[in-house]
Amino acid sequence: MTGKAFTPRSGLPKGGMARNDKTMTVQAITPGCAGGLPFAYGSRHLVDLCVKRWSGGMESAVFRRAVRAGFAVTLLASSGLALAAGGDEVGLQPVIVEDKEYRFDSAEQHGISARVIARGLSHIYSLAFLPEGDALVVERGSRLRLLRRATSERPELATDAIGGVPEYSRQEHVHPDDVLGIQDIALDPGFSSNRLIYFTYNKPIGFNVKAGRLTVSSVLARARLDGMRLIEMKDLMLGEPVIGAGGSRIQFGRDGLVYVSVGALSTGDIMSAQRVDNIYGKVLRLNADGTPAAGNPFARHKGARPEILTYGHRDPLGLAIDPRSGVLLASEHGPQGGDELNQILPGRNYGWPVSTYGTEYGGSPLPQTPVKAGTQGPMMVWLPAIAPSGISFYSGDKFAHWKNNLFIASARRGQINGTGALIRVVFNENLQEMRQEVLLDGLHQRFKDVRQGPDGLLYAATDEDDAVIIRLSPLAE
Ligand SMILES: [Ca+2]
C-alpha cells in the first residue's frame, strides 16, 4: 500500500468514528483475525453498495443537503466498514439541527429550551469555558477554536483557529484508523491568573515498516493561551509509541492532580490494556507538571508506568467528579453492548479485554465472563450500547431539579446511527442509580461532549461533519 492509499476520505473523522462506534473492534477482540478491515475504505464495490443504500430512500433535496453537510460521506465510510466486518450498519436519515428553539420536557425539570449557539464546526471532541465566558472548542484531531461570548445571546465563532496547536494534516502514511492531533482540553485551576491550559494529543513518532503504519504516542501537554495563540507548549507526559492510539480525556481533581484517561489499543497489542508497562487502556494520575502523583499504586512495580492509577479500560472517553462525594467516574465504550460507567478506584483492574459485558459485532457472544474474579465491575452498564463520551455532573442552580445529575454525551444507541442523545442519570446519595432519562434524541445527533457553563446552563457538542454546540436553558416563564 502506498501512503496515498491510506489518506482518509474527505469528511471522515480519521478513525474516530469507526473506533468510537465500535465498528472496527471485532478484529481487536477476536484473536487471530486482526487486520484487513481498514482497507475497506479503498473498496469501490463497498462504497457503491453504500451509495445505493443511503441515496435510495431519500428525497433528492434532502440528499443534496446531506451531501453538502458531509453527512453522506461519513455514512458511506462507516457503512463500508460495517459491511466489511460482516455486520450491517444501519441508521436514520441524516438530520441537520435548525436555528430555532427546540422545546422539550424532562421528568423532574419541566420546560427546557435547546438552541444552536454555534455551527459550522467539525467533529467537536471537547469544550472548555474560560472564566470570562468565551469557550475553547476542540475539533478532534485538527483545530482549537474560540467561541467568543459563548454564554451571551450572540456567541461568535472566531474564523481563525488558535495557533500553535500540534496538527498533522500533511503527515505522510496516515491510515484511516489513525487519530492524530488534539483530543481533550482542560483549563489549569489557576487559569485566571496563569492562562495555562492542558491538552492531550496523539503525536506521530515513527513508521512501522512491517505494519505499514505510523507509530504514535498519546501525550499530555501544557501551554499558555496568549490571545489567539498557544505559546510555551511543553509535552508533560508521553505514552509509548504504538500503532493505533485512540482517545483520551483530562480531569482536574479536587486534590489539584491531573487525571488522564487513555483508550486501549484496538489492533495489535490489545493485551497492553492488562499490563502496567504502558499508558494505553489506563487512567493516570499526575502532578500538574506531568510527573507521577505520589502514592500511585504501581509506582514501586518494576517496569511499570508510575503514572497509572487504574488499568483494563477499553475507551474511557469521559471523566467527571461527583460533586457530592468527590468520587471520580469514567464513561467507557464497551464492545457491542456493554458500555460502562466506572468508579475509578486506585489499583483496580476494569477487565478489558479479558472480561466485559456485551457481544462481538454481528452478535456472537464474547467468550468471557462479564466480571472476572479480581476485576472491578462497572457501576452502570448499557445494553444496548449508547456510545458514551464526555460526561458532566450538573452542579448549577439554573436547573434546580437536575442538581447532582450526571449527563452523558451518547453518539448512538443500539448500533443504529442517528440515535444519539444526552443521557441523564439520577443517583442517590450513595451514587447508586435511581433512574435515567434520554434527552435530545429527537435531534438525531452524535453527541460527544456536555459541559456546564459558568452561567449554570448546560452545553452539548456534536461529533458531526457539520458539528454544533447546543445550549440548554429553562424556558422563559
Ligand atoms: Ca470493564
Q: What is the pLDDT of residues 139-152, one digit of tens each?
A: 999 999 999 999 99
CA of 138 to the centre of ligand 1 (A): 27
d(CA 378, CA 399): 28
CA of 331 to the centre of ligand 1 (A): 10
CA of 423 to the centre of ligand 1 (A): 20
CA of 199 to the centre of ligand 1 (A): 25
Q: How is residue 364 written as a grid cell?
A: 456472537
The CATH label, of 3.30.429.10, 3.50.50.60, 2.120.10.30, 2.40.50.100, for the domain at 102-474 is: 2.120.10.30
Q: Taking the chain, what is the end-to-end CA distance rounded to the nearest angstrom?
A: 62
What pLDDT does residue 476 have?
79
Residue type, 215: T
d(CA 281, CA 333): 11
Distance of CA 318 to the CA centre of its chain: 7
CA of 372 to the centre of ligand 1 (A): 10
What pLDDT does residue 62 have?
34
CA of 348 to the centre of ligand 1 (A): 11
In the chain, residues under CATH classification 2.120.10.30 are: 102-474
CA of 351 to the centre of ligand 1 (A): 5
- The number of residues in the chain equals 477
* Rg, the chain, Cα only: 21
What pLDDT does residue 435 have?
97
CA of 354 to the centre of ligand 1 (A): 9
What's the mean per-residue pLDDT of the chain?
Answer: 84
Sequence-distant (6+) residues with CB within 8 A of 184 are: 125, 126, 138, 199, 200, 248, 249, 250
CA of 378 to the centre of ligand 1 (A): 6
CA of 139 to the centre of ligand 1 (A): 28
CA of 382 to the centre of ligand 1 (A): 12
**Contact indicator for 362, 280 with CB cutoff of 8 Å:** no
CA of 62 to the centre of ligand 1 (A): 40
Cα–Cα distances in angstroms (integers) from residue 35 to residues 29, 177, 213, 292, 474, in the given order: 12, 11, 12, 35, 49
CA of 355 to the centre of ligand 1 (A): 7
CA of 345 to the centre of ligand 1 (A): 13
**Contact indicator for 66, 72 with CB cutoff of 8 Å:** yes
What pLDDT does residue 208 have?
96
CA of 319 to the centre of ligand 1 (A): 15
DSSP 200-252: EEEEEEEEETTTTEEEEEEEEEEEEEETTEEEEEEEEEEPPPBSS---EEEEE
d(CA 186, CA 130): 10
Nearest residue to 356 via CA among 383, 330, 329: 383
Per-run averaged pLDDT (10 residues), the chain, 477 residues:
29 36 30 25 27 30 34 33 51 90 95 97 98 96 98 97 96 95 98 98 97 97 98 98 97 97 95 98 98 98 98 98 97 92 98 87 71 94 95 97 98 94 97 97 97 97 97 90
What pLDDT does residue 367 have?
58
d(CA 365, CA 290): 40
Nearest residue to 405 via CA among 388, 427, 380, 390: 427
CA of 4 to the centre of ligand 1 (A): 37
CA of 191 to the centre of ligand 1 (A): 34
d(CA 264, CA 270): 7
CA of 324 to the centre of ligand 1 (A): 24
What pLDDT does residue 250 have?
98
